[in-house]
A and B are shown apart, each in its own frame.
Chain A
Amino acid sequence: MRSLSFIFLLVLLLSDSAYTQRWKPGDDIFRQLDEVLPTPNEYRTASGAPGHRYWQQKVDYDIRLDLDDQNQSIQASETITYHNQSPDSLNYLWLQLDQNRFKQDSHAKLTQTAPNLKSRPSYRLMEALLDQDFDGGHKIQAVKDAAGKPLPYVIQDTMMRIDLPKPLTSGERVQFSVEWRYNIVDVKKIGARGGYEFFKDDGNYIYEIAQWFPRMAAYTDYTGWQHKQFLGAGEFTLEFGDYKVAITVPDDHIVGATGVLQNPDKVLTATQRQRLQQAKGASKPVLVVTPEEAVANERNKPAGKKTWIFHAENVRDFAFASSRKFIWDAQEHDVEGNKVMAMSYYPKEGNPLWERYSTRSIIHTLNVYSRYSFRYPYPVAISVNGPVGGMEYPMICFNGPRPEKDGTYSDRTKYGLISVIIHEVGHNFFPMIVNSDERQWTWMDEGLNTFLQYLSEQEWEEKYPSRRGEPKEIVDYMTSQQQEPIMTQSDSVLQLGPNAYAKPATALNILRETILGRELFDFAFREYSRRWMFKRPIPADFFRTMEDASGVDLDWFWRAWFYTTDHVDISLESLDWYTIDTRNPDVEKTRLKQMREEEPVTLSMRRNQPLPKFVEQYPELLDFYNNFDKLNVTPKDREDYEKVLRGLQDQEKAILNSHSNFFVMKFKNIGGVPMPIILDITFTDGAKQQLRIPAEIWRRNRREVSKLLITPREIQSIVLDPNLETADADLNNNHWPPKPVKTRFQIFKEERQKNPMQIQQELEKVTQQ
């Protein structure tokens, strides 16, 4: 250091941007997360894995139900076997009665705020408002112990507590039964995750039945009983167990359900069974019920009833669909060695889209998701078309998009269908198998699932129009001010779509592409999925596993993206250029002369130049100073330089003559989220260089940093975030030399098709109508 102390750095170009620094609460973004995350224990380790004493409850169900197609209701009974695998004694059990959300006095209904009646309401809204008579909710008819003796119970909105005669100690199990009935919701009238749709053209119904039986609430090591009321947005979390469900429906109905059909001989025709056999090893979907047969069924009247029996192992819920309108296709697919029957059920109204895309979309989803997480473990995967726009259950999901009546469809409908099937089938992985708690943390399944949905879409076809995943798409939301952090409880999130789906999905995509790279990320993400399949992770388990398996401290990333509402906006503030003073007068004075010559001539100087000068008239007035140029090299200069050189080591002389350019780039973090600084640098000789600086450059100063680049070349231009990979919100401050970036509005305005007069003429026509 001592030998360098005499080196003078000459500032050739300097645009300093001094500004005052104020400490702000988020400035310690690199503070470790440990104080925020729960303390590791024997159930959940500091590495993010299940601990050596990890436990979860197990619940088995034996359910019988009768679907009444005349008045759209369900009469049912269930025997629940509850295995207390926790270390705790339980005095009571909590069950969820999700149908109670549709009671007229439910918390969900009572806490609805008034709609806007100042503008014209829709029929849909008016129908929902005027529907004061629908008798929704679970009617509990009996709760009995294994011996048939009534058990006391209390209903609290969407929850039911059953009081046990004696505490259920650790390791014990208890069996009890519940009988109930309920009226099925008309989904087209009341937005719901399950219910019926009536087709007035043929007088038939499609039933998509979900959240329909009293289900054991989750009991966990981190929250005890999960008894958050069902308000509509926070979906659910449940316990794994085995299900046997006997579904009695009109004998001309086709039923698709979670699990494997146990009595095909009783409910399917010989032809249908044979076609299902053909679907094994088929290279494309095989019709089990053809469109023609489905249309014939629509005109049928049932002769009686049939009972379809399904068995499902290690699932956390059970849903089914039933209708005489169903076309049914199937294709067995080998998912990494697991033979899965992919099946779709849809009415003729779904064609031609459904026969072309549904089952194929299921297969594509199973392939891609299995690659990124774990092999799909279940024997079937089903997609059903009905009134529900998109909702997931184990092995079965409901998807809404249909073509127009004339059989045509827009690209929006087509990609909407493929995307929603990928999304809902993808939910088998998160949260149906990696059992995160959606009533508490929507992002844990919706965010992770939307991320994998994006990867799957991009593997469906080139330039698939994914709505979420690309960093630039999240900028609008992240720069908005009225938002909550991702780590917010499900029902309290204002904008669930951007908050719990798009932002975490984008964050993971950035983590994969920009922060960790695909290799590290994919390994860590797979590790998380495998650690927690058939178990129940909390956010800390995800954060910790991703760090543990990638070997990268990501606390700053989780803090910025999941715990704050800051956005990304890094600006390239200035570029300063330094060279080394060689001390050689022949070099330095020549350079200074050149600079002097390049200085601009002012207007007055130029006009004064031709004026006759007084000293020209009287040359005797000229003296030493009239001819003296301090930039002329003198023998004394050269002598001094020689003296300097004599005092230097060879190494030091080499440094003086290295001809390096020192460029200092200054950056400001305007948005608050620290991100890697990615630079495309172009030099005057045409060479290009990409510089990727990890986000840790911000660790000592979150708001302003500088970076030195030493190069023999001269910089011509710099672009910050050239590949749009960081969700940088303002691209106007990403260039040197500064370059304004056109807004979407300005680009559109330049390229628009119609001129304002055409629009005005059309508008007049519309207004007259």
Chain B
Amino acid sequence: MSSNAPNWNRRDVMRALPLTASAWAFLCGSRAVAHKFYFSSTQVDYNPATASFEITIRLFADDLELVLARRADRKVEVDRTPDAEALTFAYLRDVLRLRGPDMREIPASWVGMETKVDTVYCYLEAPAPPSGLRNMALAFGLFTELQRGQVNLVSFRDPIHGRPRDLMFREGDRFKVVIFPEPEEAPSQNP
């Protein structure tokens, strides 16, 4: 999805629901393991040695399966469906977007994923400019189409420029710029 895609109006939204009645039935039942809250946490590390951002996304497996099933119009199980990785990457490419200081989007490449019972870890990598996380912007709409109240937390590590503030994404949020704390409020690990 390119950044200049138009905002959808309501008619487009309705057209964007390609599910048939039969698909609806299993989607309804597929939310087997319920949790009472909707949360993901992501770590973005700037690695100056490889000039890359190393991205680790930790999310709930059942949320992911629900969203992938809807997009693929078939049942998806993260640990059994053969192309689950590719589907996941395609989805994450749509919802996780990085923008460099020059306002250009930086595409992330896929490293892989692993499932630990109900938690999925997704790993992506993106080329980093020498300025590291400075003036980078992120948009992360993970699962906001599923759940009101979905909270996506992104933390950063940048060994060169200090630790930026976390970013929190909720429904409706768009690009947010990575902010480094002012020197006077700098954390004590950078004397």
- Residues of A that sit less than 8 Å from B by CB: 17, 19-20, 112-126, 188, 200, 388-390, 400-402, 410-413, 415-417, 420, 465, 467, 476-477, 479-482, 494-498, 569, 571, 668, 670, 703, 743-746, 748-749, 752-754, 756, 759-760, 762-763, 765-767, 769
Shortest beta-carbon contacts, A-B, top 8: A389-B34, A19-B191, A416-B33, A762-B86, A116-B171, A497-B37, A481-B166, A465-B117
Complex-state Cα separation, A404 to B116, whole angstroms: 19
Contact of A118 among B89, B119, B172 (CB under 8 A): B172
Contact B16 A120 (CB under 8 A): yes
Complex-state Cα separation, A414 to B121, whole angstroms: 20
Contact A121 B27 (CB under 8 A): no
> Which residues B153-168 have CB closer than 8 A to chain A?
153, 155, 165-166, 168
Name the residue on B nearest A669 (C-beta): B188
Contact B39 A123 (CB under 8 A): no
Q: How large is the interface on B (under 10, 10 to 19, 20 to 34, 35 or more residues)?
A: 35 or more
Contact A754 B8 (CB under 8 A): no
Complex-state Cα separation, A476 to B25, whole angstroms: 36
Name the residue on A nearest B45 (C-beta): A743
CB distance from B84 to the nearest CB of A (A): 9
Contact A120 B114 (CB under 8 A): no
Q: For residue A767, which residues in chain B have a CB less than 8 angstroms away from its CB? A: 90
CB distance from B181 to the nearest CB of A (A): 10
Contact of A119 among B145, B151, B166, B168 (CB under 8 A): B145
Contact B123 A748 (CB under 8 A): yes
- Cβ of B144 within 8 Å of any chain A Cβ, yes or no, is yes
Contact B117 A117 (CB under 8 A): no
Complex-state Cα separation, A668 to B32, whole angstroms: 45
CB distance from A283 to the nearest CB of B (A): 30
Q: For residue A112, which residues in chain B have a CB less than 8 angstroms away from its CB? A: 148
Contact B171 A756 (CB under 8 A): no
- Residues of B that sit less than 8 Å from A by CB: 7-8, 10, 13, 16-17, 19, 24-25, 27-29, 31-37, 39, 41, 43, 45, 54-56, 58, 61-62, 66-67, 70, 72, 77, 79-80, 83, 85-87, 89-90, 95, 109-112, 114-119, 121, 123, 125, 141, 144-148, 151, 153, 155, 165-166, 168, 171-172, 187-189, 191
Q: For residue B155, which residues in chain A have a CB less than 8 angstroms away from its CB? A: 476, 479-481
Known: A116-B141, A467-B118, A744-B56. A389 touches B123 (CB 8 A): no
28 CB contacts below 8 A, A to B, read A113-B171, A116-B145, A118-B141, A120-B17, A123-B28, A125-B145, A125-B147, A389-B36, A400-B33, A401-B34, A402-B29, A410-B80, A412-B61, A412-B79, A416-B118, A465-B116, A467-B118, A476-B43, A476-B155, A480-B153, A495-B37, A497-B36, A670-B187, A743-B43, A745-B56, A745-B123, A765-B86, A766-B86
Contact B32 A115 (CB under 8 A): no
Complex-state Cα separation, A323 to B51, whole angstroms: 61
Contact B171 A765 (CB under 8 A): no
Complex-state Cα separation, A410 to B115, whole angstroms: 12
Contact B45 A745 (CB under 8 A): yes
Complex-state Cα separation, A756 to B123, whole angstroms: 12
Complex-state Cα separation, A17 to B190, whole angstroms: 12
Name the residue on A nearest B119 (C-beta): A467
Complex-state Cα separation, A125 to B119, whole angstroms: 23
Complex-state Cα separation, A120 to B69, whole angstroms: 13
Contact B89 A759 (CB under 8 A): yes
Q: For residue A401, which residues in chain B have a CB less than 8 angstroms away from its CB? A: 32-34
Q: For residue B141, which residues in chain A have a CB less than 8 angstroms away from its CB? A: 116, 118-119
Contact of B85 among A120, A668, A759 (CB under 8 A): A759
Known: A188-B28, A400-B34, A762-B86. A743 touches B56 (CB 8 A): yes
Contact B17 A480 (CB under 8 A): no
Complex-state Cα separation, A240 to B168, whole angstroms: 41
Contact A495 B39 (CB under 8 A): yes
Contact A412 B117 (CB under 8 A): yes
Complex-state Cα separation, A15 to B179, whole angstroms: 33
Known: A402-B32, A410-B77, A668-B188. A752 touches B166 (CB 8 A): no
Total A-B Cβ pairs within 8 A: 195
Supplied contacts A412-B115, A480-B153, A745-B111, 17 more A-B pairs, CB within 8 Å: A113-B148, A113-B171, A389-B33, A412-B79, A413-B32, A413-B33, A415-B117, A420-B34, A476-B58, A479-B155, A745-B43, A748-B121, A748-B123, A752-B112, A756-B110, A759-B110, A766-B86
CB distance from B43 to the nearest CB of A (A): 7
CB distance from A172 to the nearest CB of B (A): 40
Contact B55 A745 (CB under 8 A): yes
Known: A482-B153, A668-B188. A125 touches B86 (CB 8 A): no
Known: A125-B148, A748-B112. A477 touches B85 (CB 8 A): no
Contact B79 A410 (CB under 8 A): yes
Q: For residue A495, which residues in chain B have a CB less than 8 angstroms away from its CB? A: 37, 39, 151, 153
Contact B151 A494 (CB under 8 A): yes
Name the residue on A nearest B44 (C-beta): A745
Contact of B146 among A19, A122, A412, A759 (CB under 8 A): A122
CB distance from A733 to the nearest CB of B (A): 8
Contact B112 A744 (CB under 8 A): no
Known: A116-B171, A118-B7, A744-B121. A481 touches B165 (CB 8 A): yes
Complex-state Cα separation, A762 to B72, whole angstroms: 14
Contact A116 B19 (CB under 8 A): no
CB distance from B112 to the nearest CB of A (A): 4
Complex-state Cα separation, A188 to B32, whole angstroms: 11
Contact A120 B111 (CB under 8 A): no
Contact B72 A769 (CB under 8 A): yes
Question: Which residue among B24, B41, B62, B112 has the maximum number of chain A CB atoms within 10 Å of its CB?
Answer: B112
Contact B54 A743 (CB under 8 A): yes
Complex-state Cα separation, A494 to B166, whole angstroms: 14
Question: Which residue among B24, B29, B86, B147 has the maximum number of chain A CB atoms within 10 Å of its CB?
Answer: B86
Contact of B168 among A19, A415, A482 (CB under 8 A): A482
Q: For residue B41, which residues in chain A have a CB less than 8 angstroms away from its CB? A: 476-477, 480
CB distance from A206 to the nearest CB of B (A): 13
Q: For residue B168, which residues in chain A have a CB less than 8 angstroms away from its CB? A: 482, 494
Q: For residue A754, which residues in chain B have a CB less than 8 angstroms away from its CB? A: 85, 112
CB distance from A19 to the nearest CB of B (A): 3
Name the residue on B nearest A752 (C-beta): B112
Name the residue on B nearest A188 (C-beta): B28
Complex-state Cα separation, A420 to B32, whole angstroms: 12
